[in-house]
Structure 1
Amino acid sequence: MPLPTAAKLLAAGFAASGTIHLVKPEVYEPLMPAWVPAHREVILGSGVAEIVIAGMMAAPSTRRAGGWAAVGLLLGVWPGNIKMAQDSLRTRNTRFKAIAWGRVPLQVPMLRIAYRVAREG
């Protein structure tokens, strides 16, 4: 079964984000909550996870597992996105605030797509 367009976009987003995590991890360091240990390692590990998940969703034989992995990853990072949005209120950086708050509701359609991939393959 061909990958639906929305799922292709989600997989591409995971691949792009994962690549940025690996190539420019410093972009994500200011977003890390203080309670998370080993910031650089967590950033690199999550980048690898995103790239693996993108590949799993692209391949028919692992598509459902990739969808479930995407659901798990998205749920796992959502609290961090909420914290980042809350933290953005303490800065004057309007761009950072817009990105931080924009990520929170963006999780909902991404979760729907990942769940659909997980259910339908």
Structure 2
Amino acid sequence: MSFMTTPENSRTKTRAAVWATVFGGAGVLHFAQRRFYDSLVPEELPGEQKYWTWGSGLVELALAAAIANPSTRAAAATPATLFLLGVWPGNIKMALDWQKSEKKSALMKVGGWARVAGQVPMFLSTRKLGEQ
């Protein structure tokens, strides 16, 4: 009865729906809340921060579309993982900036580092998108 949904297929579909939503939502936010995302762009990168923000937002929208489509989902697994690895320095920068800020509470400062650590399970999860 291969036409029935198995728990593994259900997990795969759920994982795909979550990641399509995460990447799609983040992609939209890169345009709607550009200045916040600009602040995450390391100063060492060439060019204006807004172009990095817009570019990464477009990549996230493309990843969301590829993950949402079952025929391109497996091919999107590695690019999605590499993208998350690529933006990890921005999350590290945010955590470091928050440590220096007098405006951030102790909880926010801990939360910044929790976000950095939380990326590791995210890398592992996006890699599993390639499993059928």
Per the TM superposition, whether the score is higher than 0.5 is yes
| Counterparts of 2:89 and 2:19, CA distance in 1 | 20
Q: Which moved more, 1:32-41 or 1:90-99?
A: 90-99
Q: Secondary structure at the match of 1:8?
A: helix
Question: What pairs up with 1:1-121 in 2 under 5 angstroms?
Answer: 3-37=12-46, 38-92=48-102, 93-94=104-105, 96-118=108-130, 120-121=131-132
Question: How many residue pairs get matched?
Answer: 120
Cα offsets for 1:12-49 (capped at 9, x unmatched): 11110110002221121222211123200110010010
> C-alpha distance in 2, partners of 1:35/1:114?
27
- Consecutive unaligned residues in structure 1, runs of 5 or more: none
TM-score by length of 1: 0.87
TM-score (norm 2): 0.80
Sequence identity percentage: 37
Shift of 1:84: 2.0
Counterpart contact for 2:15–2:129, Cα < 8 Å: no
**RMSD between aligned alpha carbons?**
1.8
Cα shift at 1:98: 4.4
Specify every segment of 5 or more residues in structure 2 that has no aligned partner in the other structure, as ranges: 1-8
Structure with the greater alpha carbon radius of gyration: 2
Q: 1:11 to 1:79 in 2, by over 3 A?
A: same
CA distance in 1, matches of 2:67, 2:109: 31
Runs of 4+ in 1 over 3 A off after TM superposition: none
